[in-house]
Structure 1
Amino acid sequence: MTKRDMYMDNAEAEALVQQAVKPELSEEVQDRRLVWWRDARFGMFIHWGLYSLLGGVWKGKEVPGAYGEHIMLRGQIPVKEYETVAESFNPTRFDADAWVSMAKEAGMKYLVITAKHHDGFALYDSAVSDFNIVERTPYGRDPMKDLAEACRNHGVKLCFYYSHSMDWHHPDSQGNTHDYPNNIGAWDDLESWIDDEDKRTRYERYLNEKAFPQLQELLTQYGDVGLIWFDCGHKVTDEQGQRFVDFVRSLQPDCLVNRRVRRDGFGDYGNSGDNQLHIRINRKDWESIHTMNHSWGYKKTDHNWKSVKGILHNMIDVFSLNGNYLLNVGPTPEGEFDEKSVEILQGVGRWMKQNGESVYGTTGSPIGKPQWGRCTVKGQKLYLHVFEWPASGELIVPGLRNGLIRAYLLADPEQRPLKWERAGKEDIRLHVHAAALDPDATVIVVEVEGAIDANPVKRLMAKDYVNRFGAFDGDIEGKRLRYDTGKKDRDVATGWSEAADHIRWNYRAASAGTYAVTAVYGAQEGKAGGTFAVETNGQLLSGVVTPKGDGYAFFAQPLGTVRIDEPGNYGLTVRAETITGEVLMNLKEVQLHPIEP
């Protein structure tokens, strides 16, 4: 079940570019289309539909599966029975103005709502299919019209999610094989059916009868639409994916299309996997999507709420990598945001109200990922988001070659200058207050002279911080070693079955120093084992893998110390010495702890 969940939400994020994609419009047109989206940075995702009424429970039993919106598939609920759910869907407490106001107060600039999810139910008045909120429910109104008006009134961009590749209600689409046994299965890959004339022909019928006509409704009945957010594009062909892009362009040329319309290379911007915390960036413009708990649609038993601090750190990390952040709410069947979602949105909103300048219209960090936090930039201003305040009262801004005009705390209305001096040619030392102003993330503004000139290579910190070399920040070389999904506790290098495979990081030392080295890894009992070496500056430290648990119960193993004799650029490499199991280990990170004299 876990594997299937991961495939459903992450396969489209991992699909490789297989061939050239039809050229889009000129770069100038593309940039013009993306202006509002790049400036916005932060949006609200809303998953709402018939599944919200069920809340993950069918006939008194919780249905297995992480996502409440997948209950029709997971519970094998027949179409005719699922249709009866609509008879009780009556969200009388829905208030479009309240929804959009809450998004705006949280600092969000655009809103993406599930106009139709995989269950095939249209959350708007559709003439194409009567399986919609107006014709099948006692509510009898079109909430998309209300949302369109509220978004216009509040200056928030209205955007639609549309499940183009899967529709479990339509007999010719994909996913529903309990009602339609000859249908394409929910987990069938493209290659398994593309040469099957019957399945291919029927699937084209679904596209032509429902998907394209409903898209036309969404793009012609609600005014300007900021973007169409497609999903599970790995289940359509390149030609079909491009047809969707072209169709959207033909109706609203400025409407954006996300990468999940097909795969990497398609659409205006890229997407991460669902709730992916760590990512390897391969596209300039991209978006990360996250839930506040686990499920996207409302689920009664899902109380796995993330903290405001955790969400803020995650979103700031995304901003520092030049990405947008889409945070999901799963409204209740009555049409309200639940109490905990409201609490989290208000917490994020408080931070954004004070620090929004460091988010809107910014681009990614020119100084990499400092150990103390993250950085964004706008013009000649660097915004330093400090997650971990320096105990010494000195904050090193690494890799910044520019001279400074001034530095100050963004939350300080008087913008009182912080003292600073150069710490070598490439670093700045700021003298900061004894304690952070904001326990979640304090923002320091650094204004520089001239165009920003920076070195993004990681700089070792000689005090205050542990120097962490995360697997997703390293460069893998070899046949089998690969990056895991990047989700919670899956930020590892995995599949280490070839002794020649290795992972390497580059770093810079500003001074001589001694560091204690620790390897953090997981090793599954009965499958992992062997020995490995960490090498830097000609020094080699060896470790013996200790298997424990399922491979994701992480173990911090001290390996010894290394000495950096002089300033300069260095490499850090982890190699296998012997592999005695099926794999060596799942490597999470290598740590260099400064040993102060």
Structure 2
Amino acid sequence: MTNKTDVTKAAIPGVVALQEDGRIADWQRLRYGMFIHWGLYSEIGGVWNGEPVTKGYNEQIQMWANISEEDYLDVASKFTADQFDAAEICKLAKDAGMKYIVITTKHHDGFSMFHTATTAYNIVEKTPYGKDPLQLLAEECRNHGLKFGIYFSLVDWHQGHEFDHNNCNPIPESMEPVIEQQLRELLTNYGPIAEVWFDMSAPTMKQSQKIAGLVRELQPEAMINSRIWNNNSDFRTLGDNEIPSVPLEGAWQTPASIYHSTWGYRSWQEREDLEGKTKELVQSLVSIFARGGNYLLNIGPRGDGSIVAFEADVLRGIGSWIQRHASFAGDLSATYFDQHTWGEVLADEGNLYLCVNNWPEDGKLVLSGLANKVTKVVEDGETTVLSYTTEGDQLIIELPKQAKDEILPVIRVSIEGALRVIPKNTVSEIDGVWKVDGTYLYTGNGYADEGHYFTLKQTQVRLTSYLAVKESGNISIHLNVEADPNRKYKVAVGNQGQVLLGAELSTVEIGPFAVPANQIIPLTITLADSAYVGDDLRIDFSAATVTRK
């Protein structure tokens, strides 16, 4: 059904564009940042009454060990934080290749790690440290050219929430004034905020909208994450350490921890195999970049504020890899290549970067779908030119027996012109007809929620099929789908579109649309009036028949 050699010179634009909204695109360019979980739980270090607490994340140890607030507050009297060094943290972030920092201002325990007028339950008034670390870190971020962001838990055990192992507590009206005042303090006292990272709870739609409105009023450039819930965000926060297996639409971020079992410091945490951990996290970073997301990687300082040496070494190892592959510190783009079993593909102007997770045993690396002329192939960071051949849209590279980079080798392919890609499942015309079934369908995906973490679900927001057109003319479309009858859908061929109700999609002839010769033309179905990025199509696609008129 496909005949790729006939359309090799046409192809489709190969680079995934950033969001049209400049504010969101600027955030997407940050790409890689440092998360910091630091609080009274760091002083406890995963041990209570002399015993390791192995259940749950350590930043929630008050709940998992059922620690009374009186005993928990006693920990504050020992919280000297005498090794907290904002400049050292920022230098580590820079060494790691990061561009922004997000720190916990208040976790579920409700203990504020900043000076607040709402409660004395804060680091300035209840600890020997007696200073506001957020002020110090925000200033150092500006000094080091890093963007600054804040984490804020909507669960607050001090203000009245009960322990809930799912952390899905509703927000009572009595807590709303405290949340609002604390956010006003955070959003007005620490300079420009790049990102506000909300977490957990189960707010109503009205509460989510009110909180988002406050952020947009006080910090209009700040990006709001999706754990504000009810789909009121600027970007979607995926599950902890989640790497999506499918392409995602819109702006999104993976929050990641060095040890998946905790974010806050644990004294008894096993820390071993530095090279293996560095390799694991570099591969995660590259996979997220290749799918168009941002990567927020956590450190958990000790209670005294010192950074765990193993974590610092891991971050510096990632930074060293980025320095060896300097383009990864820039504006590399995700691409529309089909997935390859050997690894990931990213691009910039004039180059592809093939990140090889699985070095081919036969020494041949095959990239399928490339329409551009190749001018040079090297292992990135090296000068030795690699031999290659092309067969249709396949680039076949002769690899050395062993890669020079033991963490994650990168093959750099120089190309002529803007990247053009040929989708594997392009549909060819047979006797004036293109027949599309699910085999030839590409999906754009997202996430949506209904008010808390456990309602988060993956959605389909776009259906696309690629039509190989040899001769110009007009085409019409007949769809066989089941869709929400009252929703409006846009059926587009290239840049031409028609809006129909779901009830009409399978009952009317759609078009006609004019198509040019010798092109691959996308046939796309989206919502015409989506309420938010991630709004599900609610469509069951069986087939499409495209016919020349």
With the length of structure 2 as denominator, give the TM-score of the two structures.
0.70
**How far does the alpha carbon of each residue in 1:502-539 deviate from its partner, in whole angstroms, 9 at most, with x for none?**
xxxx9xxxxxxxxxxxxxxxxxxxxxxxxxxxxxxxxx
Moved more, 324-333 or 34-43: 34-43
Residue 260 of structure 1 is matched in structure 2 by 227
**Cα distance between partner residues in 2 of 1:296 and 1:421:** 47
Q: Which amino acid aligns with 2:182?
A: Q
**How far does the alpha carbon of each residue in 1:289-337 deviate from its partner, in whole angstroms, 9 at most, with x for none?**
1111121000122216661111111111111111111111000111111
Q: Is the alpha carbon distance of 1:81 and 1:41 closer, same or farther for their aligned partners in structure 2, counting shifts above 3 Å?
A: same
Q: Which amino acid aligns with 2:73?
A: E
**Cα distance between partner residues in 1 of 2:299 and 2:32:** 14
Residue 236 of structure 1 is matched in structure 2 by 203
**Cα distance between partner residues in 2 of 1:437 and 1:245:** 48
What is the aligned counterpart of 1:205 among 174, 179, 186?
A: 174
- The residue correspondences of 1:447-526 to structure 2 (distance < 5 A) are 447-457=414-424
Q: Is the alpha carbon distance of 1:456 and 1:346 closer, same or farther for their aligned partners in structure 2, counting shifts above 3 Å?
A: farther
Q: Is the 8 A contact 2:38 2:301 kept in 1?
A: yes
Q: Is the 8 A contact 1:256 1:268 kept in 2?
A: yes
SS in 2 for 1:276: coil
Residue 517 of structure 1 is matched in structure 2 by none
Residue 553 of structure 1 is matched in structure 2 by none
SS in 2 for 1:383: strand
Q: Which amino acid aligns with 1:237?
A: T
Q: Which amino acid aligns with 2:47?
A: V
Residue 140 of structure 1 is matched in structure 2 by 130
Residue 587 of structure 1 is matched in structure 2 by none
- The residue correspondences of 1:356-505 to structure 2 (distance < 5 A) are 356-358=326-328, 360-412=330-382, 415=383, 417-423=385-391, 425-457=392-424
**Cα distance between partner residues in 1 of 2:43 and 2:419:** 52
Task: Give the deviation of 1:373 after TM superposition.
Answer: 1.2
Q: Is the 8 A contact 1:408 1:416 kept in 2?
A: yes
Task: Give the deviation of 1:62 after TM superposition.
Answer: 2.4
SS in 1 for 2:325: helix
Task: Give the deviation of 1:246 after TM superposition.
Answer: 0.9
**Cα distance between partner residues in 1 of 2:329 and 2:97:** 10
What is the aligned counterpart of 1:52 among 18, 21, 42?
A: 42
What is the aligned counterpart of 2:257 among 276, 291, 302?
A: 291
SS in 2 for 1:307: helix
Residue 151 of structure 2 is matched in structure 1 by 161
Q: Which amino acid aligns with 1:170?
A: Q
Q: Is the 8 A contact 1:369 1:458 kept in 2?
A: no
Q: Does 2:87 match 1:118?
A: no
SS in 1 for 2:297: strand
SS in 1 for 2:354: strand
**Cα distance between partner residues in 2 of 1:280 and 1:75:** 38
What is the aligned counterpart of 1:273 among 226, 239, 261?
A: 239
Q: Is the 8 A contact 2:102 2:148 kept in 1?
A: yes
SS in 2 for 1:368: coil
Q: Is the 8 A contact 1:229 1:258 kept in 2?
A: yes
SS in 1 for 2:77: helix
**Cα distance between partner residues in 2 of 1:51 and 1:281:** 37
Q: Is the 8 A contact 2:388 2:395 kept in 1?
A: yes
**Cα distance between partner residues in 2 of 1:347 and 1:81:** 39
Residue 590 of structure 1 is matched in structure 2 by none
**Cα distance between partner residues in 2 of 1:285 and 1:117:** 25
SS in 2 for 1:82: helix
**Cα distance between partner residues in 2 of 1:239 and 1:457:** 45
Q: Is the 8 A contact 2:19 2:250 kept in 1?
A: no
Q: Is the alpha carbon distance of 1:254 and 1:475 closer, same or farther for their aligned partners in structure 2, counting shifts above 3 Å?
A: closer
**Cα distance between partner residues in 1 of 2:255 and 2:19:** 26
Structure 2 gap ranges (5+): 1-16, 427-440, 444-464, 466-549
- The residue correspondences of 1:329-348 to structure 2 (distance < 5 A) are 329-348=299-318
What is the aligned counterpart of 1:36 among 21, 26, 30?
A: 26
Residue 317 of structure 1 is matched in structure 2 by 287
Task: Give the deviation of 1:450 after TM superposition.
Answer: 2.7
Q: Is the alpha carbon distance of 1:237 and 1:211 closer, same or farther for their aligned partners in structure 2, counting shifts above 3 Å?
A: same
Residue 142 of structure 2 is matched in structure 1 by 152
Task: Give the deviation of 1:107 after TM superposition.
Answer: 0.6
What is the Cα-based RMSD across aligned positions, in Å?
Answer: 2.7
Q: Is the alpha carbon distance of 1:326 and 1:188 closer, same or farther for their aligned partners in structure 2, counting shifts above 3 Å?
A: closer
**Higher RCO (Cα < 8 Å, 6 or more apart):** 2
Residue 53 of structure 2 is matched in structure 1 by 63
Task: Give the deviation of 1:358 after TM superposition.
Answer: 3.0
SS in 1 for 2:74: helix
Q: Does 2:216 match 1:227?
A: no
**How far does the alpha carbon of each residue in 1:210-260 deviate from its partner, in whole angstroms, 9 at most, with x for none?**
111111111111111111001115x11222112111110000110110111
Q: Does 2:67 match 1:77?
A: yes
Q: Is the 8 A contact 1:30 1:268 kept in 2?
A: no
**How far does the alpha carbon of each residue in 1:318-369 deviate from its partner, in whole angstroms, 9 at most, with x for none?**
1111111111100011111112112211211110111241353222232132
Structure 1 gap ranges (5+): 1-26, 177-184, 194-199, 460-473, 477-505, 507-597
Q: Is the 8 A contact 1:259 1:266 kept in 2?
A: yes
Residue 216 of structure 2 is matched in structure 1 by 249
Task: Give the deviation of 1:389 after TM superposition.
Answer: 2.4
Q: Which amino acid aligns with 1:120?
A: G
Q: Is the alpha carbon distance of 1:377 and 1:188 closer, same or farther for their aligned partners in structure 2, counting shifts above 3 Å?
A: closer
Q: Does 2:239 match 1:303?
A: no
- The residue correspondences of 1:571-590 to structure 2 (distance < 5 A) are none
What is the aligned counterpart of 1:90 among 73, 77, 80?
A: 80
Residue 325 of structure 2 is matched in structure 1 by 355
**Cα distance between partner residues in 2 of 1:442 and 1:319:** 16
Q: Which amino acid aligns with 1:358?
A: F
**Cα distance between partner residues in 2 of 1:91 and 1:458:** 57
Q: How many residues align?
A: 411
Q: Is the 8 A contact 2:97 2:329 kept in 1?
A: no
Q: Which amino acid aligns with 2:211?
A: F
Q: Is the alpha carbon distance of 1:428 and 1:475 closer, same or farther for their aligned partners in structure 2, counting shifts above 3 Å?
A: closer
- The residue correspondences of 1:174-193 to structure 2 (distance < 5 A) are 174-176=161-163, 185=164, 187=166
Q: Is the 8 A contact 1:107 1:356 kept in 2?
A: no
Q: Which amino acid aligns with 1:408?
A: V
Task: Give the deviation of 1:391 after TM superposition.
Answer: 3.5
Q: Which amino acid aligns with 1:41?
A: R
Q: Is the alpha carbon distance of 1:153 and 1:29 closer, same or farther for their aligned partners in structure 2, counting shifts above 3 Å?
A: same
Moved more, 385-394 or 368-377: 385-394
Task: Give the deviation of 1:42 after TM superposition.
Answer: 0.8
Task: Give the deviation of 1:132 after TM superposition.
Answer: 0.8
**Cα distance between partner residues in 2 of 1:162 and 1:421:** 53
Residue 99 of structure 1 is matched in structure 2 by 89
